[in-house]
Amino acid sequence: MLTLQGLYSGRCCDGVMRRDMLRIGALGMGSTLLTPSLLRSAPSGSAAEKSVIMIYLPGGPTQHETFDPKPAAPAEIRGSFGTTQTKVPGIHFCELLPKLATRLDKFSVIRTLTGMLNRHESFQCFTGRPGGRPGDNDPGGGWPTFGSSVSKLLGPNPQGIVPYIDAAPKMSHRPYNNRGVHDGVGTTSWPGFTGRENTPFTLEGEVKQDLLVNEIQPERLLERQRLLSNISGNRLQIDGGNDFLNEQAFGLLTSNIFANALDLEKEDPAVRAKYGAGQATHSSFGGAPQSPEHFLLARRLIEVGVRCVTLSFGAWDWHANREGTIEFLANKYLPVFDHTLSVFLDDLEERGLLEQTSIVVLGEFGRTPRINAKGGRDHWPNTQSIVVAGGGIRGGQVLGETDSTGGVPIDRPVHIQEVFATLYRTLGIDVNNATLTDLQGRPRFLVDDNRQSISELF
């Protein structure tokens, strides 16, 4: 039995339940022919290909202890930490981010993000929209994620590499995972109206081992599939019958390029050592580990032409009701975040990938200006600080200003869909003209309310 982790979870718009796992028993009859584009082997890292890496920080990170410190505020707002001067005169970060402070020329910070709701789910981070509740006015099938839209509009790269991959570790709080699951309600927004073929291929569980096909050579696999496809009258359907599932699965199985990208043992040991080992996060958060190797994996995936990679890093729901106070949590987790993101930006730049790879680092919301009685900060959807970089985005910018408490924007609020319009722009997609057709046949623009890309970043 060969098992591939999943493509889709939940109920499809046709009412058929799909399993998380695509199982191909002995490569049985009913397999579809492999398309030449999925089998083609070619050098990796085409300079013409653009990619986006979306780094999700589950739980909602604090802006005060990261990119928007308020050193002149009272202690209950300022917190326990001082500031450090960045590479840009007059701009300071929290003292726990010294490495990122010296690299501000490689990225920009938006301190005034708006448009997010108080919901502990990745959905709004990956779609730029709320969803799952009656008042959200979801279209039939649900909103597609950014990666799903890119997959639908651009398709695989010229070498046939899967366009959209979720490289995040599996998290115990289900709405943190990139699966269209919503916080506190039973609805699921996958696959979105772009369809199952445009949901992310998920790298978790046993996927990497499965790609080895139990040591069956790709040539033999292809020969067996072709033989079986010629047996008339035996078009058995796999998992409910979707040719794209078979095509994508077989394409991955026979792609040395893709399998090599997943094999971190092939990476230069010196590079792996630079990324470091990371650390687990407390299980009570239900979030992700701080795993630098997931950043390295994302880099390897965009090198071979994946258009959009999502990953998750850490656990940021710092109320002080789990593990410790915000002072304890910041001292434990922020240095690893600082190191990992710094090494990642250096690595991309040194390989000439930063100009063709757009990066966004964000959570669901920010944290309250005032530290609570337990020593933590609570949910605060009014604003948050996020990082954007690469793909033609200028570094060294700090966009927007919050009030003296870090609670609300007082200059240049930036809506989340402006960020999405910016990411589409870096891929050469014009949000003023590109549309996707929903299940009712209506054309849908990629962003709402005529939102435009952030001109200050270019």
In angstroms, rounded to a whole number, what is the distance separating the alpha carbons of residues 165 and 163?
A: 7
**Local structure of residue 20 (DSSP, 8 states):** S
pLDDT, one tens digit for every residue, the chain (458 residues): 333 333 333 333 333 333 333 333 322 322 223 333 333 333 333 445 899 999 999 999 999 999 999 999 999 999 999 999 999 999 999 999 999 999 999 999 999 999 999 999 999 999 999 999 999 999 999 999 999 999 999 999 888 889 999 999 999 999 999 999 999 998 999 899 999 999 999 988 545 555 554 445 555 555 555 554 554 444 444 344 455 555 665 566 556 888 899 999 999 999 999 999 999 999 999 999 999 999 999 999 999 999 999 999 999 999 999 999 999 999 999 999 999 999 999 999 999 999 999 999 999 999 999 999 999 999 999 999 999 999 999 999 999 999 999 999 999 999 999 999 999 999 999 999 999 999 999 999 999 999 999 999 99
Give the pTM: 0.85
What CATH number should be reported for the domain whose range is 2-457? 3.40.720
Residue with tokens 């009258």: 233
- Kindly list the distances between the CA atom of residue 122 and the CA atoms of 126, 137, 181, 397, in Å, as whole numbers in the listed order: 6, 18, 8, 26
Helix, strand, coil percentages (3-state) for the chain, rounded to 5, are 30, 15, 50
Rounded to the nearest 10 degrees, the angle between the axes of helix 292-303 and helix 326-350 is 30
Task: Give the pLDDT of residue 361.
Answer: 99
For residue 124, the SS3 value is helix
The beta-carbon contacts of 346-353 under 8 Å, at least 24 apart in sequence, are 346/103, 346/106, 346/274, 347/271, 347/274, 347/275, 347/296, 347/299, 348/299, 348/390, 349/106, 351/299, 351/303, 352/47, 353/45, 353/299, 353/302, 353/303, 353/390
Domain ranges, ordered by start, for the chain: 2-457
**Local structure of residue 31 (DSSP, 8 states):** P
Task: Give the pLDDT of residue 256.
Answer: 81
Pair of tokens at residue 235: 């078009």
User: Of all helices (H) and strands (E), which one includes residue 244?
Assistant: helix 243-253
> Given the DSSP bridges, would you call strands 308-312 and 51-56 parallel, antiparallel or unpaired?
parallel
- Kindly list the distances between the CA atom of residue 24 and the CA atoms of 211, 225, 253, 423, in Å, as whole numbers in the listed order: 12, 11, 12, 36
User: Of all helices (H) and strands (E), which one includes residue 227?
Assistant: helix 218-229
